[in-house]
Amino acid sequence: MKYKKVPRPTSKMGYCNICSKNKLLTEDHVPPKGCVGINRQQVALLTEYLSLGQLDKRNAKQIQNGLKFKSICNDCNNRLLGTLYDPSLNEFAQQVSIIARLIQGGMVLPDPFKVKLKPLPVLKAIVGHLLAARVRSDMTTPLPSAPFISAMQQFVQQKDALPPEELRVFCWFYPSDIQVIILGSGIVENIFSEKRQVIIGDIIKFFPLGFWVTWDHNYNIEMDLNLTEIALRPNIKLSDELEIKLPLKGIPRIDWPEHQDDSSVMLMHDEYAFIAKKFRRKKMKKA
């Protein structure tokens, strides 16, 4: 049986996933290098991993220096993400990493715990990297036009712009080094009820945070999943700070949302969902 692998662009030139200009494409680290310790990893399409139940040479490839996607131009990669937005995301992730290490060491902390962040650049960084993850074998055509994609692109390109009200971002404490990216997914909650809802969006998980960027929904995510919405006040600037609370209990399982319960289902594109794990050599058996 032949397994699909993560797509790789066949041309050095292509349409940038952020600015939509035809340029020389560069590799974007998703998440950025400053967020997580870069290790040797195995990466695979999430659907192939779920069908096989493991990562091995049949469905995965080994990568060095983190998960990268050759999909955005140098200006968007370095001028926007690398200079304006990523430092704030790195700082936020590093703060939560310290808390995660304290918990792993046995320290008891308040639940929920408080943490400060610069919300506008953090959200722009997350949205920008989710756009970058939409890599295709053929990058000589731009991303298909859709309200969700267009809103994300405009939000990232204009440094002072706020997202439209349809675009909301939620985060949660994610104490796992398994990285997961799921793009353009649909989660159907309460599937057997008249109150069922379909939530469209992108998800990215990496130690120590998970983010869910959603589009045009009315479902009460905060109450049912105990997530924290990063809401932006009017006239907020890149340098403005916000204090949020992140719960430690009642949050999604480590394997959520790729594994749903009996009352919900997840729909995903087989080439727009990825999983990366640390590469661990198998120990040789002693003779």
Residue 2: what pLDDT? 59
Residue 135: what pLDDT? 93
Asked if 127 and 118 count as a contact pair (C-beta separation under 8 A), the reply is no
Q: What is the DSSP string of 17-41?
A: TTT--EEEEEEEESS-TTTS----E
More confident call, 285 vs 237: 237
Look at residue 285 and tell me whether its pLDDT is greater than 60: no
Look at residue 221 and tell me whether its pLDDT is greater than 80: no
pLDDT over 70 percentage in the chain = 92
Q: What are phi and psi of 200, to 5 degrees?
A: -95, 140
Tell me: the pLDDT tens digits for 41-63?
Answer: 888 889 888 877 777 666 677 78
Q: What does the DSSP 8-state code read for residue 4?
A: P
The CA angle 29-18-39, to the nearest 5 degrees, is: 5
Residue 3: what pLDDT? 65
Residue 40: what pLDDT? 78
Distance CA 172, CA 215 (A): 18
Q: Kindly indicate the confidence band of residue 218, based on its pLDDT and cuts at 50, 70 and 90.
A: confident
Strand-strand pairing, 179-189 and 265-267: antiparallel
Q: Kindly indicate the confidence band of residue 201, based on its pLDDT and cuts at 50, 70 and 90.
A: very high
Q: What does the DSSP 8-state code read for residue 185?
A: E
Single-letter amino acid, residue 203: I
Look at residue 149 and tell me whether its pLDDT is greater than 90: yes
Asked if 10 and 137 count as a contact pair (C-beta separation under 8 A), the reply is yes
Give yes or no for a cis peptide into 112 (omega within 30° of 0). yes
Residue 52: what pLDDT? 77
Residue whose entry in the numeric block shows the structure tokens 């041309």: 11
Asked if 119 and 194 count as a contact pair (C-beta separation under 8 A), the reply is no
Residue 35: what pLDDT? 84
Tell me: the pLDDT tens digits for 89-118?
Answer: 999 999 999 999 999 999 999 999 999 999
Look at residue 153 and tell me whether its pLDDT is greater than 70: yes
Q: Which helix (H) or strand (E) holds 182?
A: strand 179-189
Residue 140: what pLDDT? 93
Of the listed ranges 22-31, 68-77, 175-184, 264-273, the least confidently predicted one is 264-273
Output the average pLDDT for the chain: 89
Mean local confidence (pLDDT), 201-220: 91
Distance CA 103, CA 250 (A): 16
Residue 281: what pLDDT? 61
The encoded tokens of residue 250 equal 């009642």
Tell me: the pLDDT tens digits for 4-47?
Answer: 777 778 789 999 999 999 999 999 999 998 887 667 788 888 98
Distance CA 255, CA 180 (A): 9
**Three-state DSSP state, 252:** coil
Residue 227: what pLDDT? 94
CB 261: neighbour CB atoms within 10 A?
Answer: 9
Q: What are phi and psi of 234, to 5 degrees?
A: -60, 145
> What's the Cα-to-Cα distance from 97 to each of 122, 183, 213, 260, rounded to whole Å?
16, 25, 21, 27
Residue 282: what pLDDT? 58
Radius of gyration of the chain (CA): 19
